[in-house]
Structure 1
Amino acid sequence: MTTNKRTSSTVLTDDSETKKRKKDDVTSSSSSTTSKEPTPTFLNENSPVKKLCEYGEACYRQKNPLHTAEYDHPPAREKPSTNKHLSPIEKLEQSEPFRFFLTTVHGISHIHNQSNAMSFKEILSTQHGQLVRSAQFNYMFDIEFILEQYPSEFRLKPLLIVYGDSRHDNHSLKLQSSPYPQIELCPARLDIPYGTHHTKMMFLLYETGLRIVIHTANLIEQDWKQKTQGIWISPICPKLNGTTEESKTNFKKDLIQYVERYRAKQLQFWLKTITEHDFSNINVHLIGSIPGRHTGPDMNKFGHLKLRQTLKTYIGLENDAQYSSAPIVGQFSSIGSLGATANSWLTKEFLTSLKQLNSSALESPELKLIYPSVENVRTSLEGYMAGGSLPYNIQNAMKQGWLVNFFHQWKADHRQRSRASPHIKTYLRATNDQYKQLLWFLVTSANLSKAAWGVLEKNNTQLMIRSYEIGVLFIPKQFSQSVFSVSDSPAFPIPYDLPPVKYQSTDKPWVVDIAYKNQPDSHGNMWDPSD
């Protein structure tokens, strides 16, 4: 963690500038419209009259002097500008119905930071309304950096920081937040060893209602600059008029259940606030993990069993036979200890949850795992430094060499993020090996680990989870669709290229605690973690 002061170069578009652009666009469009009926054009009083060519812009003889002496052609229409800076409100409007974004990336083309891309500052923009107070749940914090992302008029508003209760974090965050009386700290209990508070979520309370943001980035500058991160932004949920409006996905109930498990007095205000707001416009499912040994009815409330239960309930029996062999993709930025063989946990317990439709399909679909190779990291925008956020260690890598058989490259050419190292975590299921349609899509803080997803114990009668995690699951039924299209409108904004590209024999997965000195990275540096 660091407390060094940082600045951001993100520029927001003023509403008046946006309106002016729209007016200019309308004027330009109307002035370039041509009539099908040819009309005479008078160049000046001495020039001959020319007829308008009936083929207009499409005429292939525009370079023929005999033709152009007799016929006039309309000026070519201006191509739509790719440099238009969309406002945060316009970005939200264009993201419907999914409201799923990647973070903006320094060093890629402007247009790829407009469509389905959002910066931290844009999430907190004054354009969304008058902020009353907020809460930030996360793993890593840089308090000065966080406050700089809030508009100046919101920086003194009450801010709750929810973090993992450890001696180091307690000391660091108390030190960082001591100059700011508006900040309150809420340590999250870590009752099981080696667990973390890995959840990344924002509560933003406006005068007009409550917004929930679930994302994958730590609250430090480097996570919002040149990495690929995922963000889901809820609509602003209005205050209730006496009823307990719930979404068709039970999002409100699941969120209350999740927050209650913190058992923290600092979160009582937010629990009350959630109950007082209407969540009926939310169309995603909440998939959370809470530390503990969950038994009985609680087993299906968290971790991979919550995902299993949700898929079983909402995907539908009619899809079971048709899609039982449809491939599954997992994509993540860290890997835990998974066991001596694939069947120890990955392709048995975990895959059973991922492949669940509406019955216990016996067929095992192909599982493809996307994790950056050494070459992906070396050639990234950050170079080897990106590998610091990919903490797969040599101890685990050596014990599970079998895992490399599942690995595929990080590749995101269509979003221009192949060189923006992934810190996002996603899981999806396609309808077939063409990857043109999806059965479901999940963005989450949960990496590929038992600590995040849970592991069954005591003859499958309890689920043990070490860490706090949060994610949202997109199911087509909740968007009035049978499947999500990857290409047809409204296309689901997939973060990376499909189908995944398998590792070649020379590719090695990135391991954080070994040296890479054979080739310099994109900045001319080598990597030696022992230095």
Structure 2
Amino acid sequence: MSQSEHGKWTVSSSDESDAEHDCEEPSTSSVLQAEPSKPIGPQYPCSEARKAAHKRKGSPIKFPDTSCFAEMSPAKKQRPSQKGLGWCLSSSEEETESESQPKHEEKLLVKEEESNPPKEQAFAKSEDNELPASHNSMKAVAEVQDTWDLLNGGNPFRFFLTRVKGIKSKYNSGALHIKVFLFLPVNKFNYCIDVEWLIRQYPQEFRNKPLLIVHGEKRESKAGLHEQAQPYKNICLCQAKLDIAFGTHHTKMMLLLYEEGLRVVIHTANLIDADWYQKTQGIWLSPLYPRLTSGSAGCAGESLTNFKSDLINYLTSYNSPTLNEWTDIIKEHDLSETRVYLLASTPGRHQGNHKEKWGHLRLKKLLKEHASPIPAQESWPMIGQFSSIGSMGADQSKWLCSEFRDSLVTLGNSMKTLSNHDVPIHLIYPTVDNVRQSLEGYPAGGSLPYSLQTAQKQLWLHSFFHKWSAEASGRSHAMPHIKTYMRSSPDYQKIAWFLVTSANLSKAAWGALEKNGIQLMIRSYELGVLFLPSAFVNCFQVKEKFSGSNEPATSFPVPYDLPPEQYGSKDRPWIWNIPYTKAPDTHGNVWVPS
């Protein structure tokens, strides 16, 4: 048993305990069902946590006492006491895990240069996000027009959430599904991919478009991906280099190319069914970029945010001849209407001028050059929200409250040196009950791959944790796979900046300084966009309701509730590789990952 100033933290062979003492091993003989003779798992490369979730969906273990499951739906929010902040974690597995990030990640690139489909051939609204059998109904036509209006200026930030099955329709107003992009003339990028599912998202007439999948798979996983793609003659595969151990190809981006121009979509959802079904995901959708006139200067079409050159530099960092075609395509288009900044990570040990091109030092540089200082800014909290957590060291000074915090609290050139305690840090990560009461139940935790082995090494971290809550957007029970970071005013009414990204809270994603600060080591590919008020208005006001409100267009749609609610004494962070058998989820099941 470990003791910290935040209370007792117990590792035992059971799953949960309300008391602050060693947990007892519960009898599970009446709970566990026989395992199937053949392992159940997804047919695409993914993390061990996602494989466990897929297994449990296919072979659920029912909670023995179904009386407490009766009438159970995603539970209403409760506000337990803030006292204690103790955990009780338990484990039935002792596997070593060096990083909490999934090991297998991919990227998708789709080239579509055919004629536009008629606007009338878009989707009609349905619970299952299916395309209508007929395109003749007035409802379908109206839905098409609404979608085109949405994509062409209805949202000044061009920041959207994905559609969620199982919530009220008003909360899906303004939300997007992947079929929007694949039905329109498009092109794209990504991480974990189910090739067969992806192809099915296309209308039949567009399923033979050329697809280039850039991935980070090796050995067996690479062979499996090639096997998936083999039946589709229009698909080509390209392997991204990951020369540093435990790195991943985590970027999720689409390049959408068609006759009228180019779009860029940077998002947080993998190209698998589960990520577009009942999870909270974020999407930034660019304006439609027109082609430049023939003979335009090489620097033509650049935005005030240097988005065009930064995107080209990011693609160039792959050092892949296969992607040269896409850098040429970007050069041929006018990206001057872009109002966000690109923020990327690429694997390597970056020195000199390259050190500030990537990771958290890139964010620091952008905030220093383009963010405005704020009076009493020391009291403005930093908020991080993510779906996985890496190893950050034995205490907060090793990374979180040193180099990482120093980058994220920067605001303009006049920023004074701050102590570690001047800027509050709020970290939003789902509790066990958040997952248990979610739309998916315990399997939602498969996309939250924080392991016990990592958690045990950083007991200090849970004093920063806050619950996932998104009642304003109707998505409290749609677990987050979105990742966001921001600085907020102490009253949570204003935002100094906002970032949506693929990067979780880890040194692998953001980078860690080495050699006395002269080198930034990054393991993974990541990509996101930074929203700064200077490109829109003087300061972002927080939007009270994510959708359906009459607030000013310049109110920013934060996808979770503010102020964030700190963990209570009985709250514990979701850890994927331990069992939870004392309470059923929303489907009447328990969680036994092995």
Q: TM-score range by the shorter chain?
A: 0.7 to 0.9
CA distance in 2, matches of 1:386, 1:148: 23
Output one character per residue of 1:373-393: Cα deviation in whole Å (capped at 9) or x when no partner. Answer: 000000000100001111100
Please name the residue that 1:79 is paired with.
Answer: none
Equivalent in 329, 348, 360 of residue 383 of structure 2: 329
CA distance in 2, matches of 1:373, 1:95: 35
Q: Offset of 1:159 from its aligned partner?
A: 1.1
Please name the residue that 1:228 is paired with.
Answer: 280
More displaced 10-residue stretch of structure 1: 156-165 or 470-479: 156-165
Query: Mapping of 1:306-317 within 5 angstroms?
Result: 306-317=362-373
Please name the residue that 1:489 is paired with.
Answer: 552
Q: 1:409 to 1:19 in 2, by over 3 A?
A: closer
Please name the residue that 2:117 is paired with.
Answer: none
Output one character per residue of 1:296-315: Cα deviation in whole Å (capped at 9) or x when no partner. Answer: 00000000000010011111
* TM-score normalised by the chain length of structure 1: 0.83
Please name the residue that 2:43 is paired with.
Answer: 2
CA distance in 2, matches of 1:227, 1:509: 18
SS in 1 for 2:344: strand
Please tell me whether residue 453 in structure 1 is matched to residue 510 in structure 2.
Answer: yes
Question: Residue type matched to 2:497 in 1?
Answer: W
SS in 2 for 1:422: coil
Please tell me whether residue 207 in structure 1 is matched to residue 259 in structure 2.
Answer: yes
Question: Residue type matched to 1:299 in 2?
Answer: K
Q: Offset of 1:481 from its aligned partner?
A: 3.2
CA distance in 1, matches of 2:314, 2:241: 13
Please name the residue that 2:218 is paired with.
Answer: 166
Question: Residue type matched to 1:329 in 2?
Answer: I
* Structural RMSD (CA): 2.0
Larger relative helix fraction: 1
SS in 2 for 1:213: strand
Number of matched pairs: 456
Q: Offset of 1:110 from its aligned partner?
A: 1.0
Q: 1:8 to 1:141 in 2, by over 3 A?
A: farther
Please name the residue that 2:532 is paired with.
Answer: 475
Q: 1:216 to 1:224 in 2, by over 3 A?
A: same
Please tell me whether residue 218 in structure 1 is matched to residue 270 in structure 2.
Answer: yes
Does 1 or 2 have the higher relative contact order (CA < 8 Å, sep 6+)? 2
CA distance in 1, matches of 2:248, 2:353: 24
Q: Offset of 1:323 from its aligned partner?
A: 1.9
SS in 2 for 1:298: helix
Please name the residue that 1:516 is paired with.
Answer: 580
CA distance in 2, matches of 1:315, 1:322: 15
Q: Offset of 1:479 from its aligned partner?
A: 1.1
Please tell me whether residue 498 in structure 1 is matched to residue 562 in structure 2.
Answer: yes
CA distance in 2, matches of 1:171, 1:452: 26
Please name the residue that 2:334 is paired with.
Answer: 278
Q: Offset of 1:94 from its aligned partner?
A: 6.1
Output one character per residue of 1:111-149: Cα deviation in whole Å (capped at 9) or x when no partner. Answer: 11122x1011112223xxx44xx232x221100111111
Q: Offset of 1:230 from its aligned partner?
A: 0.6
Equivalent in 357, 368, 385 of residue 411 of structure 2: 357
SS in 2 for 1:204: strand
Please tell me whether residue 112 in structure 1 is matched to residue 171 in structure 2.
Answer: yes
Output one character per residue of 1:265-321: Cα deviation in whole Å (capped at 9) or x when no partner. Answer: 11011011011111001100000000000000000000000001001111124x2x4
Please tell me whether residue 135 in structure 1 is matched to residue 192 in structure 2.
Answer: no
Contact 2:240 2:318 in 1 (8 A): yes
CA distance in 2, matches of 1:121, 1:19: 14
Q: 1:16 to 1:525 in 2, by over 3 A?
A: closer
Please name the residue that 1:75 is paired with.
Answer: none
Q: 1:349 to 1:193 in 2, by over 3 A?
A: same
Equivalent in 371, 380, 383 of residue 429 of structure 2: 371
Please name the residue that 1:294 is paired with.
Answer: 350
Output one character per residue of 1:80-109: Cα deviation in whole Å (capped at 9) or x when no partner. Answer: xxxx89742133246421111111000001
Please name the residue that 2:199 is paired with.
Answer: 147
Question: Residue type matched to 1:457 in 2?
Answer: E
Structure number with greater Rg is 1
Contact 1:439 1:484 in 2 (8 A): no
Question: Residue type matched to 2:401 in 1?
Answer: T
Q: Offset of 1:153 from its aligned partner?
A: 2.4
* Unaligned segments of structure 2, at least 5 residues: 1-41, 45-53, 55-125, 545-550
CA distance in 1, matches of 2:238, 2:314: 15
* TM-score normalised by the chain length of structure 2: 0.74
Please tell me whether residue 190 in structure 1 is matched to residue 190 in structure 2.
Answer: no
Q: 1:513 to 1:434 in 2, by over 3 A?
A: same
Contact 2:542 2:558 in 1 (8 A): no
Please name the residue that 2:180 is paired with.
Answer: 122
CA distance in 1, matches of 2:220, 2:320: 20
Equivalent in 411, 421, 429 of residue 469 of structure 2: 411
Question: Residue type matched to 1:10 in 2?
Answer: N
Q: 1:8 to 1:114 in 2, by over 3 A?
A: closer
CA distance in 1, matches of 2:168, 2:497: 29
Q: 1:170 to 1:8 in 2, by over 3 A?
A: farther
Give percent identity, aligned residues only.
51
CA distance in 1, matches of 2:327, 2:396: 40
Equivalent in 303, 311, 330 of residue 247 of structure 1: 303
SS in 1 for 2:379: coil
Contact 2:494 2:539 in 1 (8 A): no
Contact 1:135 1:162 in 2 (8 A): no
SS in 2 for 1:421: coil
Contact 1:139 1:218 in 2 (8 A): yes
Query: Mapping of 1:5-44 within 5 angstroms?
Result: 9-11=128-130, 17=138
Q: 1:333 to 1:293 in 2, by over 3 A?
A: same
Contact 1:125 1:150 in 2 (8 A): yes
CA distance in 2, matches of 1:514, 1:288: 33
Q: 1:85 to 1:508 in 2, by over 3 A?
A: farther
Please tell me whether residue 463 in structure 1 is matched to residue 520 in structure 2.
Answer: yes
Please tell me whether residue 440 in structure 1 is matched to residue 504 in structure 2.
Answer: no
SS in 1 for 2:266: strand
Contact 2:428 2:466 in 1 (8 A): yes
CA distance in 2, matches of 1:513, 1:164: 24
Please name the residue that 2:158 is paired with.
Answer: 99
* Unaligned segments of structure 1, at least 5 residues: 22-83
Q: Offset of 1:236 from its aligned partner?
A: 1.5
Equivalent in 354, 360, 366 of residue 304 of structure 1: 360
Q: 1:170 to 1:483 in 2, by over 3 A?
A: same
